[in-house]
């Protein structure tokens, strides 16, 4: 069960809520006394706690010590993205960093037009990752690794591979509540069927992202956004 997030005016040991926030907790989320919650003050601080009492339209929370809000995903979020033409990986790294990706792994795939990445380009992507991490208030910059051949990839844990011809839609994906997440998306020309099969054999579930073909720099960000939204990263 997910831990509900609750907006509180102040992170005190005891907080009383009424109005919208209390209504949402009791009527919409149907929390009961004893339910764990995560309270946040909207100014970058959070506290863990529990529901102490519920009375009419009011809810009492008992909260622990306030701490700085956690901005880093508690697990690795690895984005395997095919080498793309021009400067497109820069956009993927910039926005992917904002979305909480911990490691970008450029992939050499059968239909990737570029077959390698020069030192200067890799260094530039790393600088973009540092800059984006800083801008979005992350505690840690994501890593950008040297390109890897798709056949060398060894993903850990749960994963998805974006594939326009997959039958599983995003809403049918069974997201585990914890553990690492691996995400993969293909080059402008798409993955070959054999590549998708290989990735599926490694545990990445092929997933359909909708009836429109997304650009090769858009699809990886849709995957990262879905992971951030579904897993609360």
Residue indicated by tokens 């622990």: 64
Smallest gap from residue 196 Cβ to ligand SAH (A): 9
231 binds ligand SAH (CB under 6 A): no
80 binds ligand SAH (CB under 6 A): no
**Interacting residue with ligand SAH among 59, 219, 224, 227 (CB under 6 A):** 219
189 binds ligand SAH (CB under 6 A): yes
Distance in angstroms (rounded) separating the CA atoms of residues 133 and 140: 7
CB atoms inside a 10 Å sphere around CB 99: 23
Sole window of 44-52, 71-79, 119-127, 159-167 interacting with ligand SAH (rule: CB under 6 A): 159-167
Q: Which two tokens stand for residue 230?
A: 């579904």
Sole window of 42-50, 86-94, 141-149, 203-211 interacting with ligand SAH (rule: CB under 6 A): 203-211
**Interacting residue with ligand SAH among 52, 214, 225, 230 (CB under 6 A):** 214
**Interacting residue with ligand SAH among 26, 47, 185, 226 (CB under 6 A):** 185
208 binds ligand SAH (CB under 6 A): yes
**Closest Cα to residue 84, out of 47, 45, 117?**
117
Smallest gap from residue 188 Cβ to ligand SAH (A): 6
**Interacting residue with ligand SAH among 97, 190, 221, 233 (CB under 6 A):** 190
Dihedral (C-alpha) 131, 97, 89, 158: value to the nearest 10 degrees?
Answer: 160
Distance in angstroms (rounded) separating the CA atoms of residues 27 and 77: 34
- Contact present, 147 and 118 (Cβ < 8 Å): no
- Contact present, 73 and 101 (Cβ < 8 Å): no
3 binds ligand SAH (CB under 6 A): no
**What single DSSP character describes residue 26?**
I
Q: For binding to ligand SAH (CB under 6 A), which residues are involved?
A: 162-164, 185-186, 189-191, 208-210, 212-214, 216, 219
């Amino acid at each position: 069960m997910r831990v509900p997030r609750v907006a509180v005016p102040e992170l005190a040991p005891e907080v009383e809520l009424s109005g919208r926030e209390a209504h949402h907790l009791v009527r919409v989320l149907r929390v009961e006394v004893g339910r764990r919650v995560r309270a946040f003050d909207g100014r970058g601080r959070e506290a863990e706690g529990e529901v102490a009492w519920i009375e009419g339209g009011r809810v009492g929370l008992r909260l622990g010590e306030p701490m700085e809000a956690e901005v880093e995903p508690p697990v690795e979020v690895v984005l395997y993205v095919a080498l793309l033409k021009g400067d497109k990986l820069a956009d993927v790294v910039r926005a992917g960093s904002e979305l909480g990706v911990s490691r970008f792994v450029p992939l050499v795939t059968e239909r990737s037009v570029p077959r390698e990445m020069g030192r200067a380009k890799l260094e530039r992507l790393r600088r973009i990752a540092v800059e984006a991490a800083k801008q979005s208030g992350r505690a840690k910059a994501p890593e950008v690794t040297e390109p890897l051949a798709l056949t060398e990839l060894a993903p850990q844990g749960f994963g998805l591979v974006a594939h326009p011809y997959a039958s599983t839609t995003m809403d049918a994906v069974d997201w585990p509540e914890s553990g690492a997440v691996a995400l993969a998306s293909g080059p402008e020309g798409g993955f070959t069927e054999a590549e998708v099969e290989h990735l599926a054999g490694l545990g990445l579930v092929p997933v359909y992202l909708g009836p429109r073909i997304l650009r090769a720099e858009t699809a990886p960000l849709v995957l990262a956004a879905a992971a951030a939204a579904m897993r609360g990263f």
